[in-house]
Amino acid sequence: MVELRKDASSYAYSVRAPRSRGVIPPSSYRNGGFATLADCLGDVARALGGNFSRIYVRLDGLCVGERDLVELRLEPQKVASELKAELKAELKAKASCAVRAESVSEPGEG
């Protein structure tokens, strides 16, 4: 699993190998200081390309799916745009769920 995040003025990532039962181990590799998400993805592809064909991706703490590492290597800008769109959709869905939960009245009310 790769966790991508935007720091103050750059992007960084860490790599983890999730274990069963939802245990999240410490990261086994980290890198950062990338000007763009695409630059960060290109480095992920270089760092992991020989060892994995696909990787589970989290962006700013949310799951944004799985990607082929060859995509990250060949089209990092396209993948970055798609990941940002997926993150935006996830955030919108979470906000929508929160609004619906707030508008549901307790049994016996209303």
Write out the residue range of the structural domain in which residue 35 sits. 2-103
User: Does any domain span residue 110?
Assistant: no
Q: How many independent structural domains does the chain possess?
A: 1
For residue 110, give the 3-state DSSP assignment.
coil
Residue 37 belongs to some domain of the structure: yes
Cα distances from 85 to residues 59, 80, 82, 96, in angstroms, run 11, 9, 5, 16
Please provide the average confidence, as pLDDT, over all residues in the chain. Answer: 84
Which of the four pLDDT bands, split at 50, 70 and 90, describes residue 110?
very low
Q: Is the pLDDT of residue 75 over 90?
A: yes
Q: What is the pTM of this model?
A: 0.79
Per-residue pLDDT, 105: 47
- With respect to residue 97, please indicate whether it lies within any of the assigned structural domains: yes
Question: Does a structural domain hold residue 12?
Answer: yes
For 2-70, the three-class secondary structure string (H helix, E strand, C coil) is EEEEECCCCEEEEECCCCHHHCCCCCCEEEEEECCHHHHHHHHHHHHCCCCCEEEEEECCEEEEEEEHH
